[in-house]
Structure 1
Amino acid sequence: MADKQTIDFYDEQSDAYVELVETLPQDPTLESFIAALPAGSRVLDLGCGPGHCAARMRDQGLLVDAVDASAAMVQLANEKFALGARQATFSDAFEPGHYAAVWANFSLLHAPAEQLPAVLASLFSCLQDGGLLHISMKLGEGTARDKLGRFYAYYSEDELRSHLSSAGFEVVDVQSGELMGLAGNKEPWIALLGRKA
């Protein structure tokens, strides 16, 4: 189940979030993700936010289904980029074998830790054989709310590798760094690219 307090935050603070996103440098994980996919590949952007990544993927020739749990984010994505984004949560079902790839960029970190295995199993199902799953998370332990009230689940690299492996993915790339978030903290992050084995 989606965390209502976190969704409410993104609904109420969508403009502030857009301002932050627009100050960030180009994401190298997004560029390598796009480069790994043939033009015309269908991609699910799970937690699309205001649509910047989905628009970049579309402009590079990918067919993008953009979804977000926040109605305000969906509206922004559609107003700014005409993405045809729709509202959906992690627990919603997606058509089996429909996607060549899933882009879950700093979205699954808002899912309760106990739900992550089921979410990964659902994403495994919606991917074609050999399909790619990008997930990026904040590194750490346990769960917490930031000072803005957003729920986060934190993981180590080993935990994420284990979750992906258990879901049937082979980890083919790992990248990490630090990023200044909306709450004003610089935090370590990790991005893993899994391939449906």
Structure 2
Amino acid sequence: MIGQDALSFTREAYDAVAAEYARRFVDPLRDEPLERGLLSAFAEVSRTSGSGRVADLGCGPGHITAYLEGLGLAVSGVDASPAMVELAREAYPGLRFEVGSMAALDFGDGELGGALSRWSIIHTPPGELPVILAEFNRVLAPGGYLLLGLWAGDDPSGPTQVFDHAVAPAYRWSPDHLAALLRTAGLAEVARMVSEPQPADRRQFQSVHLLARKAREGDAGSSS
């Protein structure tokens, strides 16, 4: 299980700012055409993976969950913060939102065709991230897709870098190191998008999206 101290601190921190967060990020994709395109691609491949269900893991107030539904996905949201989940349920009563931990998801083995974790693993202590990636692998169907969003570390050979996040302790990851952790968890990188920060961005970090796929029987290199 993920360390309860880190999880509890993050949950309480987001509970405290949930209403302001929901107001501030009501349209988080408005100025992100590349990410919108990547989410459309994620929706397309998830629909063809053999399972009709997708989960938004670390969904916050549900804005991205609703966006995915608009792309034609049968999607539900999970977040550690009860206050965030309450706001998501109020804003999008037709969607399912649950309080939960990414390290112990309430989905059956192989239940999901796709999983999105958009800027939610950034609060996971580095030593505990493999547990979460293994859980993502467990709930994905063979051939299912995982899309991760995060900020990149500056050192391509280093695993993590701590940075000053406004809500809770957070980490930046070398994309190459994270891709290696995904392989260890049974998820092969399919695509990577690295975006440079805009001059007006508060944090001058590269943003990274990694798309990975769980092997299915018959894939080259998979065990039978």
* TM-score normalised over the length of structure 1: 0.88
Q: Distance in 1 between matches of 2:150 and 2:165?
A: 18
Percent same amino acid among aligned pairs?
Answer: 31
CA offset at residue 170 of structure 1? Answer: 1.4
- Corresponding residue of 1:137: 150
- Corresponding residue of 2:44: 35
CA offset at residue 32 of structure 1? Answer: 2.1
Bigger shift: 113-122 or 149-158?
A: 149-158
Q: Distance in 1 between matches of 2:140 and 2:108?
A: 9
Q: Distance in 1 between matches of 2:16 and 2:196?
A: 26
Matched ranges for 1:72-87 at <5 A: 72-82=83-93, 83-87=95-99
Matched ranges for 1:110-121 at <5 A: 110-121=123-134
Provide the alpha-carbon RMSD of the alignment. Answer: 2.2
C-alpha offsets along residues 105-128 of structure 1, whole Å, 9 cap, x if unaligned? 111111111111111111111111
Q: Are the equivalent residues in 1 in contact too, given 2:46–2:144 (CA < 8 A)?
A: no
Matched ranges for 1:37-56 at <5 A: 37-38=46-47, 41-56=52-67
- Corresponding residue of 2:26: 22
Structure with greater strand share of residues = 1
- Corresponding residue of 2:168: 150
Q: Structure 2 unaligned segments of length 5 or more: list them.
A: 216-224
Does 2:85 align with 1:67? no
CA offset at residue 21 of structure 1? Answer: 1.8
Q: Secondary structure at the match of 1:118?
A: helix
CA offset at residue 36 of structure 1? Answer: 2.2
* TM-score normalised over the length of structure 2: 0.79
Amino acid in the other structure paired with 2:43: I
Does 2:11 align with 1:7? yes
Q: Structure 1 unaligned segments of length 5 or more: list them.
A: none
Q: Secondary structure at the match of 1:22?
A: coil
Q: Secondary structure at the match of 2:173?
A: coil
